[in-house]
Chain A
Amino acid sequence: MVLKDVVSPNKGKAFMLCNEAIARGAIEADVKVVAFYPGAPTSEILDTFSEALGSFDYQMQIATNEKVALEICAGASFAGLRSLTAMKSVGMNVASDTLFVLGYTGARGGMVVVMADDPHAHSSQSEQDGRFFAPNSYIPMLEPSTAQEAKDMIKEAFSISERHRVPVIVRTVTRVNHQSGVVELEEIRRSGFSRVRWRDLKEEYLTLGEVARRKKLRMIERRGSLEREFEESAFNYILGGDAEVGTGIVTASTAYLHVLEALKVLGISGKVPVLKLGTTYPVPRRLVAGFLKGLRGVVVVEELSPYLETEVTMIAKDENPGLRIFGKRSGHFSEAWELNPDLVAKGLASALAIPYEDKSGIIEEAKALKEGMPERYPTFCPGCPHRGTFAALSQALRALSASGKGYYFANDIGCYSMWVFPPFSKADSSLCMGASVGIANGLSNVIEERVVAVVGDSTFYHAALPAILNAIHNRNKFTLLVLDNSVTAMTGQQPNLSTEFTAGWREGKRIPIEDVCRAAGAEFVEVIDAYQVKENVPVIRRALEHDGLAIVVSRRECALYGDRRKRKRGERITPYYVDKSVCRKPYACIRDVHCPAHEIDGDGQPRISPELCDGCSVCSRMCAFGSIRRSGTEGERR
């Protein structure tokens, strides 16, 4: 990230990531309170605010989970301050209990919730379509296509929120969040931060019984006034086209960009009328009806569920009953996976009955060239402490194999998910954050095998804690490994409750996981150093054999986070090397470690790449012959 673009007080232009543009937009809109729990593809919004914190006086919290983050923003909004949070849409599952009530209570200070879907499940456990949160909670939703539009929408969302006294969802998808482009910067003019008096502002933020019923009517009214406003919104527009064609296109979000590209590829740019929707809840029905009038057919291009298609279908029923509708239901597009220009061109060509040669030939040809090419699965980084923890666990399991006891491995969501890949290959289940422990509570009482659950530190606080307390209270018996690498590594090493820092590298109170477990009454709680493979084997073994809940906290900071800290302190990384005169090629370093820094040299001996080695020592501890040594020379890496 180039911080100076985000914090520059002046008008101008910058090339930036959409997530940075979102942060810039909120800063221009004088946001006062931001709170986040990280999750791809929104994490860089958190990161940007954290980096920019030194330049402005907004308040920022990195929260325990999305629900807390949303509530922090709601609190600020109730007091009249502008607030913003961002989360991936599975995070909204966690936060939605609060979101639904906010539909009732409404907001006071502008409140914006960026919610990102991840079509194609690039970095998520599901391809969930978060758009349905909007109609379900009566909360308005805007959908940008580009970085510039995202920034514009964020600013407008604050105004909409204040005009209609309701939070506003700005819904993105991975290909919007992770899109860079040229963005117009406006001057930053911020008012200073000061506390407000609650007693002067007091409103009724509650929703019981009769109150809830009354507020429901207000929500329905509010939807009407939002819809009337959206009929005129500049975020919805029609790109002209040839009325002769008889078929138009309705689209939104990143699909709109693919449509423009596809029309170009098909040689019909400007020939087909396109309605681009930016306000997708409530849908401006009059505008859509006007567009559909006189058309013989309409193609609805959107990712995931037929959300807009359903709206269009309902509007067409009254306005243009003979209209042919092409979309998911007609089979022109799939509900699965993300769109791209080629898929959109294919669907459009078929709907418009124009010739198009799809790319399957090229793809087949490329596939043939790739025959036998090695896959590059995600893997633990060089120096990752999880590798050491799982190596010790594997050894402990091997030592116990004679007992004939079986195991169920409950994996969870974090870098340690890669436990599922070789050489460990363990995961009987992996659902969503914290579910490993919940599942263990259920399974441990009904199967014969011992359940081994894992969670990371961030996941421990985020959602696993209630399940752990449940296990202690109900005396459930299983083994829990908490992999405490000090940060939320998978999303970019953000600080969490296990870090002594918080947003903007400011001091945060670290909450030791073992203290929480012991205070709650857990009887078996051991803390190990992830790199000490040999010493950890007997501890983990005891935890596997313990007749009760056994918690092992494996601690060592994330290697990428550690490297950054070392760089800050000016420390160098000293790589390891294989002393070939000692190595007898048992290959334990390769077979049981799977580190990207290891390869086999021309002479058949293992070699450690000094550019990649992080100097963690785990492989040297796995070598029975002591042939892996720390370089005496200075490392080649910064």
Chain B
Amino acid sequence: MSFDIFICGVGGQGLVLLTNALGRACLKSGLKAITGEMYGLSQRSGTVSVHMRIGEDAHSPLIPIGGADVLVALEAIEALRYIEYLKKGGLVLMNSRIMHPPVETAGLVKDRSRKYFTLEEAVSRVKRWTSMVAVIDALAAAKEGGNPNAENTVFLGCLSALRGLPLDPAKVKEAISEVVPRGTVEQNLKAFEIGMRRASEALCGYGVCRDLK
């Protein structure tokens, strides 16, 4: 069996670092890990995605359609964009943040009757795929931890709250300290703790979280 996480977001949100921290934590735990990473081109603001697969029999760098145990979306609309990768009834950890693509904003100016695609709309559609959805205000959590750039580590915290993740949260924290820029370790670890708490609260009714002391 493999534990498959589909991670997506918008270019510039730090998916590379998030992936690397998870992979290092796997290595520390003696687990096999393989990824398929798609960062588009180098520009910011495009859609980005990573297939992260943990376990001995995860062979392909790509998760089969409908195969991911968890979908992590660092931006709300992106959760919907890749929803087909999630198992029916799988778990979604999604940011409440929406970054409106410039074409969408320009469309609103052109046609004043148009409205933005909303978070509520994104969440309600995701919920038609699965009921287990945690909506996390990761930017607020990152700021609370002292660094608005740490949305990615907030989600590492969220993931670590899950009992299904075959990694000891302590190992994930160790990995974070090794990969984040020097001088930001403390802020990132704080963001991690906040993320872990937020996910536990959001998912407490489902019995999928570890006991937090």
Contacts and interface: CB of A to CB of B under 8 A. Distances in A.
Interface of A: 2, 13-15, 17, 40, 122-123, 146, 175, 178-182, 254, 257-258, 260-261, 264-265, 340-342, 345, 359, 362-363, 365-366, 369-370, 372-382, 384, 415, 418, 421-423, 489-493, 560, 587, 590-591, 594-596, 598-600, 609, 611-612, 636-638
Interface stretch (B36-44, B152-160, B190-198, B203-211): B36-44
B106 A422 contact: yes
Contacts of A598: 102, 105
A341 B62 contact: yes
A376 B13 CA distance: 15
B103 interface: yes
Given A378-B46, A595-B102, A341 B38 contact: no
A415 B44 CA distance: 11
Interface string B105-118: 11011100000110
Contacts of B47: 376
B93 interface: no
A181 B35 contact: yes
Interface of B: 10, 12, 19-20, 23-24, 26-27, 32-47, 57, 59-66, 77-78, 80-81, 83-84, 99-106, 108-110, 116-117, 122, 125-126, 128-129, 139, 148-149, 178-179
Contacts of A366: 83-84, 129
A359 B102 contact: no
B37 A180 contact: yes
A560 B40 contact: no
B57 A264 contact: yes
Contact of A123 (B27, B34, B40, B149): B40
B184 to A, nearest CB: 9
A373 B99 contact: no
A44 B164 CA distance: 33
B148 A379 contact: no
A600 B105 contact: yes
Given A182-B27, A362-B66, A341 B60 contact: yes
A516 to B, nearest CB: 26
B20 A180 contact: yes
B129 A378 contact: no
B26 A182 contact: yes
* Most B Cβ at <10 Å: residue of A370, A382, A493: A370
A265 B64 contact: yes
A636 B27 contact: no
A485 B109 CA distance: 30
A374 B104 CA distance: 6
B45 A379 contact: yes
Contacts of B33: 15, 180-182
B26 A15 contact: yes
A590 B102 CA distance: 8
Contacts of A611: 139, 148
Contact of B108 (A359, A381, A421, A600): A600
B109 A381 contact: no
A346 B63 CA distance: 15
B106 A590 contact: yes
Contacts of A40: 41
Contacts of B43: 378-381, 384, 415, 418, 490
14 contacts: A2-B24, A15-B20, A15-B23, A15-B26, A122-B38, A175-B61, A264-B57, A265-B64, A363-B84, A366-B83, A370-B81, A377-B101, A594-B103, A596-B99
Given A261-B59, A362-B65, A374-B77, A599 B100 contact: yes
Given A15-B27, A178-B38, A179-B37, A342 B117 contact: no
Contact of A362 (B26, B40, B84, B103): B84
Given A15-B26, A490-B42, A182 B129 contact: no
Q: Can you list the 10 inter-chain pairs with the closest CB atoms, starting with the nearest?
A: A15-B23, A366-B84, A260-B59, A261-B60, A594-B102, A374-B104, A596-B45, A359-B65, A381-B44, A180-B35
Given A372-B117, A422-B106, A257 B59 contact: yes
B46 A369 contact: no
Contact of A374 (B26, B45, B84, B101): B101
Contacts of A359: 64-66, 84
B123 to A, nearest CB: 12
Contacts of B110: 591
A377 to B, nearest CB: 6
Contacts of A384: 43
Given A379-B101, A594-B103, A179 B34 contact: yes
Given A2-B178, A377-B101, A254 B61 contact: yes
Contacts of A492: 42
Contacts of A365: 84
A179 B64 contact: no
Nearest to B52: A180
Contacts of A612: 99
A146 B40 contact: no
Contacts of A372: 117
Nearest to A638: B149
A80 B104 CA distance: 58
Nearest to A600: B108
Given A15-B24, A179-B34, A181-B34, A373 B64 contact: no
A418 B105 CA distance: 18
A345 B65 CA distance: 11
Given A13-B27, A178-B37, A370-B80, A594 B99 contact: no
